[in-house]
Amino acid sequence: MSKAPHLTFDLDTPGLGRGHLVVPAGADCGELSLPVFSLNKGEGPRLLVTGGNHGNELEGPIVAWRIIKWLPEAQTCGRVIVLPVLNPLGVQAWSRNTPLDGLNLNRVFPGRADGSVTQRIADAVSRVLLPMADTVFDLHSFGPTWDFPPAATTHPIADPDLMARTVRMAEGFKLPLTLVWQHNDTAGMFDITAQHQGKVFVCTEFGGGTVGADSLAIYEAGVRNALIALGLVEGKAEYPTFRQQRSGQTLETRPSDELKSPAAGIFEPRRSVLDEVKQGDLIGILHSIDSLSAGSIDIRAPEASIVLAIASGAHVEVNKVVALIARPLK
């Protein structure tokens, strides 16, 4: 009989708390101790902030550590729990999935107590931390082979009231993009588990995964804006500057908005993220590396839309997504 997941300190004690979330040992590896920060200032919103869900998205842990530095001065009420690195095995390997069991942590929620290490992490978070929060911010990045604007995202939610509250919370980040993202691969995601419990869950997608000072400043400002919107922190929320602009827009995207490569090759972007395009506008060009005579293939906008994501920096196989488009949320 393995031990149950637990915290090494009491979150209900007023004031600052630091300790660990203990993920029990299993057949594949020993016990994990994930550092947890907690600041309990009594009545008010109860927020859980997590980073490092995917091991090659390191902005999340960095922004989480930055928040921990100033929260003790800034937080006026409520309770904030911060778990900067959900998946230390993934982070150590700079790998989206956990190397030990090959699993994607964000597809195994709510997890399994008797499962492999990734499932045990999800189980510990679901059972020990999630009940302590009404709102969850899970800090992701879009990954190193994409250009993607700083965004606060959610999937469509069946409950219209929770959907409205979630979009309002996401817009509270005041990032360049608030996105309602419909896609077909949502089973086992952290947000689905949290939403089944009626919680507001915002997944931030912090750009392309290459960590830089300018983008980190935008992300930190976004999370601070969200803390102000929740009423946990006092101050004035402002749109951070992204590519000379200080504004935000709320868009939606669907599986049919994925533009795929008709052949293998190198994708040459001809548009930047958040560009408006008309039907037929050139978004990028796919170049074959096998033959100069094969010619290149234009990837064009199927309809008037806004460019959401652009593949960059990696050779693509046939039928892979090279761009995503979106339109204003109805």
Interface segment toward Zn ion; rule CB under 5 A; list 37-45, 48-56, 144-152, 243-251: 48-56
Of 46, 54, 174, 271, which one interacts with Zn ion (CB under 5 A)? 54
Q: Which is nearer to Zn ion, 22 or 139 (CB)?
A: 139
Cis peptide before 131 (omega within 30 of 0): no
First to last CA, the chain: 51
d(CA 189, CA 220): 24
> Minimum distance from CB of 159 to Zn ion (Å)?
24
Could you say which residues in the range 226-255 bind Zn ion, by CB under 5 A?
none
Size of the site for Zn ion (CB under 5 A): 3
* Residues 6+ away with beta carbon under 8 Å from 290: none
Q: Which is nearer to Zn ion, 96 or 271 (CB)?
A: 96
Least distance between Zn ion and beta carbon 53 (Å): 6
Tracing tokens 């601070």 back to the chain, one arrives at 224
Stretch that binds Zn ion, among 61-69, 71-79, 133-141, 219-227 (CB under 5 A): 133-141
Of 218 and 232, nearer to Zn ion (C-beta) is 218
Cα–Cα nearest to 187, from 268, 126, 257, 104: 104
From residue 44, how far is each of 16, 47, 112, 132, 262 by CA, in Å? Answer: 16, 10, 31, 12, 52
C-beta of 305: minimal distance to Zn ion in Å? 24
Of 112-120, 121-129, 136-144, 254-262, the segment contacting Zn ion by CB under 5 A is: 136-144
Query: Min. distance of Cβ 203 from Zn ion in angstroms?
Result: 8
Cα Rg of the chain (Å, integer): 20
CA proximity to 203, closest of 154, 156, 158: 154
Compute how many other C-beta atoms are within 10 angstroms of the C-beta atom of residue 20.
16
CA distance 231 to 288: 53
Supply the minimum distance, in Å, between the C-beta of residue 105 and Zn ion.
Answer: 9
CB of 186 to Zn ion, least distance (A): 13
Cβ distance to Zn ion smaller for residue 46 or 140? 140
Residues 20-39 that bind Zn ion (CB under 5 A): none
Please, which of residues 56-75 interact with Zn ion by CB under 5 A? 57
Choose between 205 and 257: whose C-beta lies nearer to Zn ion: 205
Q: Is 219 helix (H, G, I), strand (E, B) or coil?
A: helix
Residue 140 makes contact with Zn ion by CB under 5 A? yes
- Identify the CA nearest to 220 among candidates 139, 274, 145: 139
Q: 71 or 202: whose CB is closer to Zn ion?
A: 202
The CB density around residue 280, as the number of other CB atoms within 10 Å, is 11
Question: Does 155 help bind Zn ion (rule: CB under 5 A)?
Answer: no
Report the interface residues with Zn ion, using CB under 5 A: 54, 57, 140
